[in-house]
Structure formats: C-alpha cells, structure tokens
Copies of this chain bind each other. A is one copy, B any other.
Amino acid sequence: MLRRDISHTVKNKSYLQALFVQECRNYGKAYTMVHEEPPGPVIKTNIPGPHSKKLLKDMMEIQQCGSVNLFANYEKCAGNYFADADGNLFLDVYTQISSLPLGYNHPALLNAFRCDSEVRALVNRPALGVFPADDWPRKLKNVLLSVAPPGLRHVMTMMCGACSNENAFKAAFILYCTRKRGGRTTFTEEEMKTALLNIPPGAPDLSIMSFKGLNNNGAFHGRTLGTLSTTKSKAIHKLDFPSFKWPVARFPEYRYPLEACICENSHEDRECLAHVEAQFQKWEKIRPIAGVIIEPIQAEGGDNHASPEFFQGLQQICKRRGAALILDEVQTGCGPTGKMWCHEHFNLPSPPDIVTFSKKMLTGGFYFKPEYLPPQPLRIFNTWMGDPSRMIMLQEVIKVIRTEKLLQLVEETGKFLKCGLHALEAQFPFMINSVRGRGTFLAFDAATPELRDNIIKYLRQNGVLGGACGIRSVRLRPALIFKQKHAELFLEILNNTLWQLKFSCRS
C-alpha cells in the first residue's frame, strides 16, 4: 500500500469529469447540491494556482493577508476534500485549523437551516446575557451539557476560543479573590475605586500560569492580550505587544518512542511537577497564581504530549494551592482524540475546574465546577455571549457523532493511521520521527525545520493539505469523518512525498 506509484495524483486527473456527482435533494423548490467525495486528490496547477495568486494580490490591497495559503471554492468542497479556486482538489487533514468537525458541506449541516425557526435564530442574534430565546436553557442542557466532560454540569457560551479562555481566567480570579475575602461577596469603597484605576486591591496583581515546551515552543491559548500573556508558541505571535508578566512552568519534553523511554519520561514528569511547585512558591510574593491553564496536548506549540500521571499530579498541586486548573480543549475537544474530551484519557480523580472549548464545537465557551459560578451577574458577560446559530449546528454535529459512531471511527482510523506513520518513520528514519498522538489527533517530527516546511509544501503539491506546528512538526487534524480509506490515501501520498524529498535531497 505504501509503495504505489508516485504518479497517483496525476492518474486521478482522469476522474475529474465524473467527480462531482450531484445528488439533488428536493426541498420545495430549493435544491441542496451534495457533492460526493472524489476518489482522491486532483491537482491541475502549481500550488497556489494562478487564480489563488491573483486573488491574494487583490486581497493584499485591503489587508495584510500573507498568511493565506489558498482561496477556496466552498461550493465544490465535499467531506474530507477541499476544493481551491483553481479547480484543484485536496485531501484535507488540517480542516481549517482543526475547526470542521464533519468536514465540508455535510448534509446534516446544510439542512440545519431549512426551518424558519433556525433562520430566525440566525438573524435575530440576541444579547444572550439579557434576552435569550425561551429555548436557550433547554439548548444549553440538551446540547452543551449532553456532551459535558464527566462531572461538569455548568457552562457559559462565548464567541471564540480566546474569549473562552479570557473568561475562564476571570472565573478563576473571581473565586480566588472571593476566597481571599473570606467569602465576602460585597465590595469595599476602596476596592470599587481602585478597580476603576486598574490598581490593587480592586484590580489585584494576580497571575495565570501557563507552560513552555520544547525550545520555548509551548502553550497556545489565544491572541488577545490576556490570553497572549499565557501563549508561548512563537515569537511572531507576541512581538511588540505588552504582556502581563506571568509565570511559566516547564511542559514535559518526552523522548520517543515512548515505550522505549518510560523511565526517562517519568523522571521528566516529576521534574516538571517540581518546577510547577517551585513557580507557585516563587510567585506567591510577586503575583499569586490564581489559575493554571494547560492544553491536554500542546498543539500550536508542536503537538507536545504529557502523561496522565503528569496531569494527575498537576491537578493535585492546583488543588493544594487553591488555583483553578483550566484545561484548554479548544483544539483537542469534540472528539479528535477518540474521546469527546482529551482529558478523559487522563483518569483524573475529579473533574478539572474549568474546561474551555471552541473550534470543532463551533461555539466557544467553558464548562466549570459550581464553585466557579460568580456570586454576581455581569462579571462574566459581553454583548453576544455566543451565538445561537452555532448551537443549532453543534446540535446536528452531536447527533451525527452519535448516530454515525464517529468517536469509534476516530479511534479505529487513528490506530490505522498511527500504525502507518510508524511504518513510515521506520522506513525514513533520517527524515521523520517521534510519531505521536491520540485518535486521529496525530503528529510527527521532521529531521529539520526546513524539511518539515518542504514536507508540507510537497504534500500540498501532491494533493494533501497538512498543517505545521512547533518548529519541525507536522500535525494531522482531519475531520471526525476521516475513514480508513482516507488514511490509506494520505499514507500513500506521504510515502510518495518522502520518496520525492529523499530523491531531491540526493540530487
């Protein structure tokens, strides 16, 4: 399977005419064109193609959009396949920075807004903290709480991941300060006055601790100035922006393959937990730590993993220190690790204090323990507080996850895919290594950053959209509908790509 001809993508061109079987489904006079997935990628131009290049030039006149890779034709995207503006079709294992749970144009989502009531929810976006719809409490319960992390029964909605983390910080600060006041829920004149002046005691010098990873490439929790202070991914995300001077602890740096390095990695866990303790000690006098935010898998930072034991130890420390443990499941949440929430893999003795989400969940927000309910309203608040139209979509997503047993699919496909990646790292030991991950939330490292960039670039030219992370990692973030046949195709194209690169290095 891994040795098929490198001209696969070229051969596929012959399918082009037959690719889009249009299943017309009749809804009154309205049609929904549901494209079928093609049997494989179709690449007709250099990537980016001339149309994408032209559009990029147009858009550059309006904004700095040098980060744009390709322009899409969303009409023609289907399932796991992304269609670009030049008529190319890619197998997408990156899915809009991991934010499409069901891939493209899933019929369940296309049909979610067929009813007037859904359209009304979309066009009458309320201020959810003031005038929610009468079905909103039921939706919070039947949709969001139906997939809540075990043990959590409270949730706030927000618009995006950064906003979810910002407000999780606030929940942590509120509880920390309320406890420090001995439970007092009223405020003194001085507290009220100094809060408006941005100084203690009203605006206390507290902190949120986050984690740096390998080569300083660590946590990513968002780009608003508050969350950015906890983000430790890349300098370019942070340069020129003022930042809260908040503590940072070491995220474990494991050696791979894990099975061969158990003792070493377990020692690393203990070292890192000791470092966490030391930070609590050190910052107690400077800027006490009210919360600790951590990704179950540091994604943007390079798909850095830590063991269940590390997370269990971290939870113990946070409990003892009275700091909130905030699990940022913005990228890991909603199924890609084979469980709804990645931290379910960690066997924590009790639920995390706060779990934040966005991306595949389509709506932002956070789950939390009841002690994090603010004693007063209007403190975790903003105009929209989320978006009911995204809840309608999430409802459909959850239905499909259940009826199509997608968590099981993710686990099965993930096993197959990981196995194939291990075979490739054995085959190309000087090119790729450190295959890791859970479910289809997988990654591997390239020998050098340059090689990594080339793998991404060549994959693209060969019809696969993959994502980079960290300094030399490739991350796979397929949709939950990614099946074994897609994994086979991906592995085949990756294999071909690595051969190409091996050959081009030698020549």
Interface residues of A (CB under 8 A from B): 27-33, 51, 55, 58-59, 62-75, 77, 82, 85, 96-97, 99-100, 104-106, 109-110, 112-114, 116-117, 119-127, 129-134, 136-138, 140-141, 145, 153-156, 159-163, 166, 169-170, 173-174, 176-178, 187, 191-193, 195-199, 202-207, 212, 216, 222-227, 229, 232, 235-246, 248, 287, 358-359, 362, 373-384, 389, 393
Chain B residues positioned under 8 Å from A51 (CB to CB): 134
Q: What distance in Å separates the Cβ of A69 from its nearest Cβ neighbour in chain B?
A: 5
Asked if residues A32 and B160 are in contact (CB atoms below 8 Å), the reply is no
Q: Say yes or no: A244-B241 contact (C-beta < 8 A), given A58-B137, A72-B134.
A: no
A77-B124, A225-B244 known; 13 new pairs, CB 8 Å cut-off, are: A31-B116, A51-B134, A67-B378, A68-B130, A70-B131, A71-B132, A75-B117, A75-B120, A85-B134, A125-B362, A160-B382, A198-B244, A237-B379
Chain B residues positioned under 8 Å from A121 (CB to CB): 74
Chain B residues positioned under 8 Å from A113 (CB to CB): 113, 119, 122
Asked if residues B225 and A224 are in contact (CB atoms below 8 Å), the reply is yes
Q: What's the Cα separation between A237 and B377 when bound, in Å?
A: 10
Q: Say yes or no: A136-B71 contact (C-beta < 8 A), given A62-B145, A62-B153, A124-B77.
A: yes
Chain B residues positioned under 8 Å from A378 (CB to CB): 66-67, 236-237
Q: What's the Cα separation between A492 and B467 when bound, in Å?
A: 61
Asked if residues A195 and B116 are in contact (CB atoms below 8 Å), the reply is no
Asked if residues B68 and A173 are in contact (CB atoms below 8 Å), the reply is no
Q: Which residue of B lies closest to A118 (CB)?
A: B113
Task: Sample 9 A-B pairs with CB under 8 A, ordered by A number.
Answer: A32-B119, A62-B141, A64-B379, A65-B129, A96-B126, A159-B163, A170-B240, A195-B238, A207-B242
Q: What distance in Å separates the Cβ of A283 from its nearest Cβ neighbour in chain B?
A: 13
Q: Which residue of B lies closest to A124 (CB)?
A: B74
Q: What's the Cα separation between A280 and B97 when bound, in Å?
A: 41
Ranked 4 nearest A-B pairs via Cβ: A28-B28, A28-B29, A225-B226, A66-B377
Chain B residues positioned under 8 Å from A374 (CB to CB): 64
Asked if residues B72 and A203 are in contact (CB atoms below 8 Å), the reply is no
Chain B residues positioned under 8 Å from A384 (CB to CB): 99, 160
Q: Which residue of B lies closest to A32 (CB)?
A: B116
Residue from B59, B212, B239, B376 within 8 A of A191 (CB atoms): B239
Asked if residues A124 and B104 are in contact (CB atoms below 8 Å), the reply is yes
Asked if residues A133 and B73 are in contact (CB atoms below 8 Å), the reply is yes
Chain B residues positioned under 8 Å from A155 (CB to CB): 62-63
Asked if residues B62 and A140 are in contact (CB atoms below 8 Å), the reply is yes
Chain B residues positioned under 8 Å from A197 (CB to CB): 248
Q: What distance in Å separates the Cβ of A239 from its nearest Cβ neighbour in chain B?
A: 5
Asked if residues A160 and B161 are in contact (CB atoms below 8 Å), the reply is no
Q: What's the Cα separation between A321 and B390 when bound, in Å?
A: 44
